[in-house]
């Protein structure tokens, strides 16, 4: 609908018209079911001497929509956005829908962490996790006795 050309304008050549039709057939919306299962989000991970610091971009999510699980050795962050189907005015029709709905999941392999000490906060669409490392066991050289 937004690609309509008023009468009297120059028409595109046949190749351009064909390319436009080809591009329209492979619009992002066509692949939405495949994308929704593999949606992810961006993260930054830093390491300090005592902990891993994770920052994940989750704009628009509330804290009750985010789950954080640790099942050794995987730390999983999952955010679920459900589609809002409420239409207040029956005359409104959706022309194009670009908002994404579904599960957003990231899974990280981490070992030797203190799972009881993991802390999380959410502010301005950024989830911050502090994942403390388990106390390092010091190596000890063992002498062979006679």
Choice among 2-16, 93-107, 114-128 with the minimum mean pLDDT: 2-16
What digits encode the pLDDT tens for the residues 44-86?
999 999 999 999 999 989 999 999 999 988 999 999 988 765 5
Structural domain count of the chain: 1
Contacts 24+ apart (CB under 8 A), 42-51: 43/77, 43/106, 45/108, 50/132, 50/133, 51/130, 51/131, 51/132, 51/133
- In a domain? residue 121: yes
The CATH code of the domain that includes 126 is 2.60.40.790
113 or 144, higher pLDDT? 113
Mean pLDDT within 124-137: 88
How many residues are listed for the chain in this entry? 146
- In a domain? residue 64: yes
- In a domain? residue 115: yes
Tokens at residue 43, please? 């993260």
Range of the domain at 127: 51-83+100-132
- Comparing CA positions, the residue from 55, 54, 46 lying closest to residue 126 is 55
- In a domain? residue 59: yes
């Amino acid at each position: 609908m937004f690609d309509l050309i008023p009468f009297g304008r120059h028409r595109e050549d046949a190749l351009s018209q064909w390319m436009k039709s080809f591009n329209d057939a492979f619009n992002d919306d066509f692949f939405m079911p495949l994308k929704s299962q593999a949606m992810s989000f961006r993260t930054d991970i830093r390491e300090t001497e005592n902990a891993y610091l994770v920052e994940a971009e989750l704009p628009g999510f509330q804290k009750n929509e985010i789950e954080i699980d640790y099942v050794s050795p995987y730390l999983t962050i999952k955010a679920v956005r459900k589609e809002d189907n409420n239409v207040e005015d029956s005359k409104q029709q959706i022309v194009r829908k670009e908002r994404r709905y579904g599960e957003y999941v990231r899974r990280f392999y981490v070992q030797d962490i203190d799972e009881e000490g993991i802390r999380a906060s959410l502010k301005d669409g950024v989830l911050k996790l502090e994942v403390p490392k388990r106390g390092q066991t010091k190596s000890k050289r063992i002498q062979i006795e006679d």
